[in-house]
Structure 1
Amino acid sequence: MSVIRVKTLTIQLIDAQPDRIRICRIDGESLVTVVVPREDLTEAKSLPNIPQRGIYYLLDEDHGNVSRIYAGQTTQGIARLDAHKAKKGFWNKAIMFLDDDQNISRDALDVLEARAIDYVRTHGSYETDNSATPKPYVDPYKEEAVERLHERILFRMAALGYDLDRVDQGPAGAPAIFHTKKNGIRGAGRYDKATGHFTVLAGSKVNLSTPVLKNAGVAAARREIFDDSGGIAELAEDLEFPTPSAAAVFVLGGSQNGWTEWVSDDGETLNQVYRSEEN
């Protein structure tokens, strides 16, 4: 008879509400996981005896289905989320993995954050707000310990129902062309489900009168081809973007969710076509 390996995950439900704040621990591990819905942040900050150092994910999720994610580090514990609540509007839930300072050194924290960012940028079919992977110094004596800690974090995410490896496949016969139309601007493009990239097609109109946020990365850089002339410009050739949202930001300016902005001729959003639970 094979040996049965068991891990005991303990989940505390604050105010006995399963969909609100949750504190999760695993027997034999010092790491504390805290699930913080955006609307419960004030209450979460008042929780006693929560460690301050670790990494976290900001999620745009619906019943475990993650459509957008951001990974970062904190030395302030849950209070770190205050800045993100003020500046990042996409997330509705934060998952934090926290421990005491003596268990996660400062340099190990930098490496752990880099591991987390690299993972969300190279896995799954969700979008990520992390535009680049940090490259901190890796102490060869700590590298294995950091890797084990990252694996424990991935295990806990999966156990809580947030699979960072999930890849969505679009249905057969999915529309070839999607459109976005807002304030008289009309763009057209194609989504590649294999790469997750979105190509804005030549002839699309680009709204130069609406600024692109400074952290929009590639979308802002691509707009430089128009010399910031203002008004509306027409795209002369196809341009490929790493995500549907980057493509939508390029066309419309501001902050955009490409999964809902790009719509088929039948009126279905990119999200409905490629991420519907019916597919």
Structure 2
Amino acid sequence: MRPQTIQIFLPAGDPRGMRVAEITTRIVRVIEVPRSQLADFLKMPEAQQVGVYFLMGELSDAGLPRAYIGQSGNVGNRLVQHNQNKDFWNRALVVISLTNSMTQTHALFLEWFAIQQAAKAGRYSLENGNTGSQPYTPAPLLADCHEIHETSATLLATLGQPIFEPLRNATTVPSEKELFCCKGSGADGTGEYTTEGFVVLKGSRGRAENVASIQGTSNERLRELLVKEGVMTVQNGLYVFTRDHLFPSPSTAAMAVMGRSANGWVEWKAANGKTLDEVKRQSVTVAG
């Protein structure tokens, strides 16, 4: 991470309408297009360019925002097609080159790489089917692609879509990371409390059975959906997390691991035995 200056232009003066973002020293531009303003975007010259686009929309059943990643030699025409045949999205974010120098070769690699990185981050439920294999990209173009991706990732996050951002506190010094464990009835989960919620880490093991008190409730349905979406898989009679997953609260995270209602502030404990509550809440006092 390094300091950067980002410029956001509002063509209609509406902060929730179309927004155009760019880093002042780069040639990459991201245009955020509300679906209701697609016709306005089509009038812009950028709509006729080669580009990579991200369709963002409603939440999946498991609570993840849904996204579709694509590319086209004419992004405007492709968005018109998606407007007719894809229901879930409400905003498109289009990545183009200020110098109109992005080629179809760039776009094909950027689409493939973006899908890989978004899946790795695990923040969004991707609507893409077969991700395919890495397209052939000559070395000079490959260097361009990585710079374009880095810039677009920063701009997407700035516009409120951190599709490539890791769930964990990546800026925290590893030795200072505070990991918490939740154990019992065969479950053995490990997680991290972040500014966005509680992240249960890949490899954590959860109890497969649901206790009677949550059967037929939204908690049971959430666990089923996590399995359906591949966040957890059944191994040796336990639920195993296949990737890091962000929960809105420590208690929801503990419930997913334990298969029962749980107070996550008490269930998650640090290596020294202190609860999450003791480490993160009781340690905060009024100055004076």
TM-score category (smaller protein): 0.5 to 0.7
Residue 15 of structure 1 aligns to a residue in which SS?
coil
Distance 1:59 1:190 in 2: 20
Distance 2:123 2:80 in 1: 27
- AA matched with 1:121: A
Q: Which residue of 1 aligns with 2:107?
A: 109
Residue 30 (structure 1) aligned with residue 53 (structure 2)? no
Cα pair 1:66 1:162 within 8 Å, conserved: no
- AA matched with 1:91: W
**CA RMSD, aligned part only?**
4.0
- AA matched with 1:19: R
Query: 2:18 aligned to 18, 21, 25, which one?
Result: 21
Query: 1:10 aligned to 7, 16, 23, which one?
Result: 7
Cα pair 2:52 2:75 within 8 Å, conserved: no
Q: Which residue of 2 aligns with 1:42?
A: 39
* Unaligned residue ranges in structure 2 (runs of 5+): 168-196, 201-205, 235-239, 243-288
CA drift at 1:153: 1.0
Identity, in percent, stands at: 25
CA drift at 1:192: 4.9
CA drift at 1:159: 1.7
Q: Deviations over 1:103-142 (max 9, x none)?
A: 2222122111111111122222321011222321121332
CA drift at 1:58: 0.4
Distance 2:131 2:230 in 1: 19
- AA matched with 2:54: Y
CA drift at 1:157: 1.1
Distance 1:23 1:190 in 2: 36
Distance 1:198 1:169 in 2: 20
Distance 1:112 1:19 in 2: 27
CA drift at 1:95: 0.6
| Number of matched pairs | 193
Q: How has the CA–CA distance of structure 1 residues 145 and 190 changed in structure 2, closer, same or farther, with 3 Å as cutoff?
A: closer
CA drift at 1:28: 2.3
State the TM-score, normalizing by the size of structure 2: 0.56
List 4+ stretches of structure 1 deviating above 3 A.
48-51, 166-173, 175-180, 192-195
Q: Which residue of 1 aligns with 2:152?
A: 153
CA drift at 1:197: 4.2
Distance 1:154 1:121 in 2: 14
Residue 78 of structure 1 aligns to a residue in which SS?
helix
Residue 82 (structure 1) aligned with residue 75 (structure 2)? no
